Structure 1
């Protein structure tokens, strides 16, 4: 993965929603040299895609200063939204996918675009549930947060506001 002189931060993220929409959570792992940090949070009512985005956002937002980051996720939604330029196109079009359809999750996409602009980020896709250690850990964190006690979950206010 990394040589001893490598200054790259390796980030891993995953999201989960039970019922989709339903209770959800994200998990993120940051690795820099021998240092490892983990993040997770549960939400009372949200979607899988929002949690996939929030996992990536949380990983990037946790970094201080501009960093070179390799962000690995099993979410093609996240990767394609950035790498294929969908999110920037939707943003330029007032968060519309086309003349009739609103882009979903514009609040999360804006946050991810902002986070990406603060770092030098490259994305790597990994097929989920294939034994990749960090992806499996992120999945455990995300699912644990989604299945955790409601008292530990927070409200995804933007999702509730736009979806009732």
Structure 2
């Protein structure tokens, strides 16, 4: 992909929620491009919080219609650290095993996320959950509301 310009920069906020862990889950995503906002949500009858956090990122990326520079804001330390600290590359080198030799959980979603990222330049921004970040609080509300579909 060629160098990104401001016109193809997309800001994404994502969050997942689960009532019980496992239990009914929901996810929410907010995409911002050229000042326009688009909200996405979804739910599953049986999931985990981590799976819903991951699904939010995947569905937000899949909603993009062309290659973009994407800045993903997430309160999931697992997801942000997997990319920023190189965990995911190490997992792949070890055949999707963690340092303790145990299989990486949710490999299906990690692989789907990597595929969804393929056409984009992705930057990861860790935000504090349940704090004063208005946009993160919005996707949290979307995720919680979506999870109620199966409660």
TM-score (norm 1): 0.83
Q: Which residue of structure 2 lines up, in the alignment, with residue 109 of structure 1?
A: 110
- When residues 20 and 68 of structure 1 are mapped into structure 2, their CA distance, relative to the original with a 3 A threshold, is same
Q: 13-22 or 83-92: which moved more?
A: 83-92
Determine if contact 2:24/2:150 at 8 Å carries over to the other structure: no
Quick check: 1:6 aligned with 2:9? no
SS in 2 for 1:51: helix
User: Which 4+ residue blocks in structure 1 deviate beyond 3 angstroms?
Assistant: none
Aligned equivalent of 1:156? none
Q: In the alignment, which residue of structure 2 is the partner of 1:95? A: 96
In the aligned structure 1, how far is the partner of 2:145 from the partner of 2:125?
A: 24
Give the corresponding residue for 1:72. Answer: 73
Higher mean Cα deviation, 41-50 or 86-95? 86-95
In structure 1, stretches of 5+ residues that fail to align are: 151-164
Verify the 8 A CA contact 2:13 2:73 in the aligned structure 1: yes
Give the superposition deviation at 1:147: 1.4
Q: Specify the SS of the correspondent of 1:91.
A: helix
Query: What is the distance in 2 between the residues matched to 1:121 and 1:37?
Result: 18
Displacement after TM superposition at 1:116 (Å): 2.1
Q: Following the alignment from structure 2 to structure 1, what is the Cα–Cα distance between the partners of residues 63 and 134?
A: 21
* Residues 25, 48 of structure 2: 8 Å contact kept: yes
Query: Who is 2:37 aligned against?
Result: 36
3-state DSSP of counterpart to 2:78: helix
Q: 2: CA distance between counterparts of 1:82 and 1:108?
A: 14
Number of residue pairs matched by the alignment:
146
TM-fit CA distance, 1:149: 4.2
